[in-house]
Amino acid sequence: MKEPIVVVLALLVLVGLAYSPLKKANLNKSSSTNTSSSVGTATRATNQNLGSSPNKEVAAEIKATEATIKKLEESLSKKTKEARLSPYSTKISMSGISGRKQTDPNREYMTITTRLGTKETVKITGWYLKSEVTGYYAVIGKASVLPFPFTRAEDDVVLQQKDKVILTKGFSPIGISFRTNKCTGYFEENRTFTPSLSLKCPLAKDENLPTFSSVYDRNDECVRIIGRISRCTTKDSEFMRDLPDTVSSSCKTYINTQVNYNACVAKHFSDTDFPGNEYRLYLNKFGPLWRTTHDTINLHDENGLIVDTISY
């Protein structure tokens, strides 16, 4: 903070310097007037001609001083802005707000992206968004790294290289903020996420299937049924009821208990590609946070310094 103070002092000194030529000019003008009243017309004309050169010098000094003051003001503005910037300002950035004119807060979100090195991490729990116009703010909370719907087991959000955040104004369809994984596409079933979750769950047919019947035809029949199950979808009791009578009970039990999110997690938790690189974070706000038009939103770190800004 020392540099802005020095700049302010310099501005005051320069204003004083700018005032000094003006004062001299007024004194010269007064002196010239008194002299011309005590002598003749010829002397007055001579003084006016002699005085024109000093006046030009004074005007030039004033102009140069004004230019210097302007540069110092610009420097002060830059230094003040830099003093407010977070050390993460080159590492984290946010996009504009999507759906800010929506009445449903669950459809209003922004994206936060990272530019981190291989081993760099940044904890964003405790950071907050604040509107420069309304003054309203919202704090970024914790999230579940291994989510189960409506089960709170949350940790600080620590971003790594290539991570991104979908930060939603409203409320989570599963009751918590979370990090995506290989199986979270199952959450889309019978729920609405904005934007939609990635549907990249392993196909049921690609799992290590057991033998469902010692009768080959019946076993093949179950394998064919499982092969028709889409990614990230479960099968309800109606589906089971409509299956042919020839389908074995072991086949029905497998479809009912092993084609779902929990089973997917159990089977693939140890996979190297199990963790996702996307967080779904929710601010749990319903009322206004910022204006739908003409506002500036700042992302602040835990010390109140500005990480990034969006204006619209």
pLDDT tens digits along 161-203: 999 999 999 999 999 999 999 999 999 999 999 999 999 999 9
What pLDDT is stored for residue 79 in this prediction? 62
Sorting pLDDT into bands at 50, 70 and 90, what band is 82?
low
pLDDT tops 80 at residue 36: no
| Contact (CB, 8 A) for 270 and 56 | no
Strand partners for 128: 139, 300
Summary mean pLDDT of the chain: 86
User: CA 199: distance to chain centroid?
Assistant: 25
| Contact (CB, 8 A) for 109 and 101 | no
CB atoms within 10 A of CB 184: 25
Alpha helices in the chain (DSSP H): 2-38, 41-84, 216-227, 237-241, 249-258, 261-268
Report pTM. Answer: 0.74
CA distance 259 to 228: 12
Phi, psi of 22, rounded to the nearest 5 degrees: -65, -40
What pLDDT is stored for residue 78 in this prediction? 60
Angle at 145 between CA 182 and CA 163, to 5 degrees: 70
| Contact (CB, 8 A) for 96 and 297 | no
Tell me the CA end-to-end span of the chain in Å, nearest whole number.
30
Average pLDDT (261-277) is 97
68-77, 155-164, 168-177, 276-285: segment of lowest average pLDDT: 68-77
Tokens read off for 24: 């001299």
Q: In this structure, are strands 122-123 and 158-159 parallel, antiparallel, or unpaired?
A: antiparallel
CB atoms within 10 A of CB 168: 26
What pLDDT is stored for residue 64 in this prediction? 82
CA distance 148 to 103: 28
Strand partners for 279: 165, 179
Angle at 272 between CA 156 and CA 260, to 5 degrees: 80
Average pLDDT (72-83) is 65
Which SS3 state, helix, strand or coil, does residue 184 take? helix
What pLDDT is stored for residue 52 in this prediction? 58
Tokens read off for 258: 């092993």
Average pLDDT (150-171) is 96
What pLDDT is stored for residue 135 in this prediction? 95
Strand partners for 282: 168
What pLDDT is stored for residue 46 in this prediction? 46
Percent of the chain with pLDDT over 90: 71
pLDDT tops 90 at residue 12: no
What pLDDT is stored for residue 23 in this prediction? 46
By 3-state DSSP, what share of the chain in percent is helix, strand and coil, each rounded to 5?
40, 15, 40
Sorting pLDDT into bands at 50, 70 and 90, what band is 8?
very low
What pLDDT is stored for residue 260 in this prediction? 98
**Closest by Cα among 284, 311, 280 to 298:** 311
Gyration radius (Cα) of the chain, Å: 36
CA distance 174 to 143: 12
pLDDT tops 70 at residue 72: yes
Q: Give residue-wise pLDDT tens across range 192-241.
A: 999 999 999 999 999 999 999 999 999 999 999 999 999 999 999 999 99
Angle at 76 between CA 73 and CA 82, to 5 degrees: 145
What pLDDT is stored for residue 31 in this prediction? 47
| Contact (CB, 8 A) for 223 and 207 | no
Average pLDDT (249-272) is 97
What pLDDT is stored for residue 59 in this prediction? 79
Sorting pLDDT into bands at 50, 70 and 90, what band is 17?
very low
| Contact (CB, 8 A) for 110 and 98 | yes
CA distance 155 to 178: 9
